[in-house]
Structure formats: C-alpha cells, structure tokens
C-alpha cells in the first residue's frame, strides 16, 4: 500500500516513519508514505501557494493551481489512479469502517488544507472524498491526515505484532473494547478482577464479551442500536444490566 500526502509540512508528516507500529510498518515496507510540498509547484520565486479570499474577509486561501500540479506529479509517480481525500471539518465522519475500506484499497492521496482552507474549485475538480475527524476545527489537515494513515496502517497485515489485536479493538465488531489489566495484581487499592486470574479461558472470554457489551451499553448506546445481538450476547448484557441495578449476586459479573 502506498499513501501520498500533500502538505506544507512534509518533514512533520514524514516523522510517522520514526515511531511505533506504523513506523515499523513503513520501515519494513509494508506501507509506503510519500510527502509532497505544493510549494515546489508554486509559480513564483517566493514559493507562495496562498492568497487573499475573493470577496474579502479574514485569512488566506490555498490556491488551486499549485495543488493541481502537485497531484499531477503524484499521478505520474503512481502506477494506478487512487482516490484523492481531503481532511475537512465538513466531510463525512472518519470511523473504523472507513479505515477498513481504505485498508482494503490500493492506497490514496491525502491533501492537507491550511489557513481558511483550499479554493473550492480545486475541491470540486480533484477531491473524491472529504473526511472529518470530529466536530472541531484544527489549524491544518496534517494531524487528521496522520490519524488516517495511522488507523489504516495498523489494519494492514503484518503491521501489528498480533493481528488479533486489531480484530478485538473498539468499533471493529460494532462494540467498545473490554477493559485491560496487567501486573501488579493489586494497584491503587484495587485488585484485578478475579476471573482474569482463574485460568478458565471460556469464563474469561465470556466476562470480556460481557464487559464489552456493558461498556457499549453505558457509554455508546447509539452503537448498540445499530447492530443485532445474538442470543448469547443478549443474555450477557441482560445479566450485566441486572447486576448494575443490584439484582444479581454474581461478583465477577461473568453471568453464571
């Protein structure tokens, strides 16, 4: 998979190569990341790529022609035509389903806006999809682009040490993840839930499934409303809810 990023700060986005599992994926060539500076395509000695907005008002707008020229260079460097994506607060919400779709494709181009944004004619003519990372305004598309690269990269085979890590994460099955514990067994006046020390793998699996269902029910009921639970999951969640209401004596909440 190859991802191209158009950014005024290529050194910053390129830092992804140095850290964590994504950095390792890049170094081991499971993923290729190429950063392009539209200033290299500016039609002037001062390398300006922004100008004042038509109609007046505050701020500057990124100009279309240098960005179009950068896209042409990218297209020439790639064997295949891939989607052009622009991070934008006006885009569709970037979520795990979208990350999965992108991870199954052949790569994509991310075009990072700055200032007030990019000339609308560039967006209309060249951008296939706008993705938002939340109802909040950032100063540029670089952090959203890095989020998108990170979320997609960890889904590529071989990037995470254990591929089960990705399949058990929040949102992957339409649920939040269960809580995690590690040593020491007692910390901050709290013990590890005893079921996790029982060595009974079926019971542990049931407890984790129940915790995932319970966390989703408490924090993100909208996720539960969007999916069908099977009979086992329904029973686990009902037991969890009953326990929350103080109707169950099962201390582990393992639904037995």
**Which stretches of the chain bind ligand SAH, using CB under 6 A?**
87-90, 112-114, 116-118, 132-134, 136-138, 140-141, 144
Residue 11's Cβ-side half-sphere holds a number of Cα atoms within 13 Å equal to 0
Q: Which of 49, 68, 65 is nearest to 126 (CA)?
A: 68
Residue nearer to ligand SAH on the CB measure, 107 or 113: 113
> Is-catalytic flag, 89?
yes
- From the list 17, 169, 177, 252, the catalytic residue is 169
Whole-number minimum distance, CB 232 to ligand SAH, in Å? 38
Whole-number minimum distance, CB 67 to ligand SAH, in Å? 11
Residues in the chain: 256
Cβ 212 vs Cβ 168: under 8 Å:
no
Residue 41's Cβ-side half-sphere holds a number of Cα atoms within 13 Å equal to 19
Whole-number minimum distance, CB 136 to ligand SAH, in Å? 5
- From the list 53, 83, 89, 193, the catalytic residue is 89
Residue nearer to ligand SAH on the CB measure, 3 or 239: 3
Q: Which residue has the tokens 């950095």?
A: 23
> Is-catalytic flag, 124?
no
* C-alpha span between 208 and 22 (Å, rounded): 27
- From the list 116, 168, 177, 238, the catalytic residue is 116
Cβ 39 vs Cβ 47: under 8 Å:
yes
Structure tokens at 228: 């069908």
Residue nearer to ligand SAH on the CB measure, 11 or 135: 135
Whole-number minimum distance, CB 249 to ligand SAH, in Å? 47
Is 180 buried (19+), middle (13-18) or exposed (0-12) by CB count in 10 A?
A: exposed
- From the list 38, 114, 154, 243, the catalytic residue is 154
Q: Compute φ and ψ for 50, nearest 5 degrees.
A: -125, 160
Residue nearer to ligand SAH on the CB measure, 16 or 196: 16
> Is-catalytic flag, 154?
yes
Whole-number minimum distance, CB 82 to ligand SAH, in Å? 19
Residue nearer to ligand SAH on the CB measure, 65 or 140: 140
Residues annotated as part of the active site = 89, 116, 154, 169
């Amino acid at each position: 998979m190859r991802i191209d990023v158009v950014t005024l700060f290529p050194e910053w986005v390129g830092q992804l190569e140095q850290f964590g599992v994504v950095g390792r994926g890049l170094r081991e060539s499971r993923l290729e990341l190429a950063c392009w500076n539209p200033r290299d395509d500016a039609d002037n000695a001062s390398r300006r790529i922004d100008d004042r907005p038509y109609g007046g008002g505050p701020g500057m707008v990124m100009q279309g022609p240098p960005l179009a020229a950068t896209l042409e260079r990218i297209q020439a460097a790639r064997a295949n035509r891939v989607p052009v994506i622009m991070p934008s607060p006006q885009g569709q919400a970037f979520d795990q389903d979208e990350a999965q779709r992108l991870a199954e494709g052949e790569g994509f181009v991310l075009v990072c806006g700055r200032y007030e944004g990019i000339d609308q004619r560039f967006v209309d003519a060249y951008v296939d999809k706008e993705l938002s990372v939340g109802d909040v305004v950032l100063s540029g598309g670089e952090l959203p682009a890095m989020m998108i690269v990170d979320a997609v990269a960890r889904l590529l085979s071989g990037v995470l040490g254990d591929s089960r890590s990705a399949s058990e994460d929040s949102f992957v099955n339409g649920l939040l993840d269960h809580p995690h514990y590690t040593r020491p067994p007692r910390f901050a006046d709290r013990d590890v839930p005893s079921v996790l020390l029982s060595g009974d793998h079926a019971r542990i699996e049931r407890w984790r499934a129940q915790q995932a269902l319970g966390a989703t029910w408490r924090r993100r009921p909208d996720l539960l409303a969007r999916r069908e639970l099977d009979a086992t999951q329904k029973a686990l969640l009902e037991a969890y809810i009953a326990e929350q209401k103080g109707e169950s004596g099962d201390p582990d909440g393992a639904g037995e």
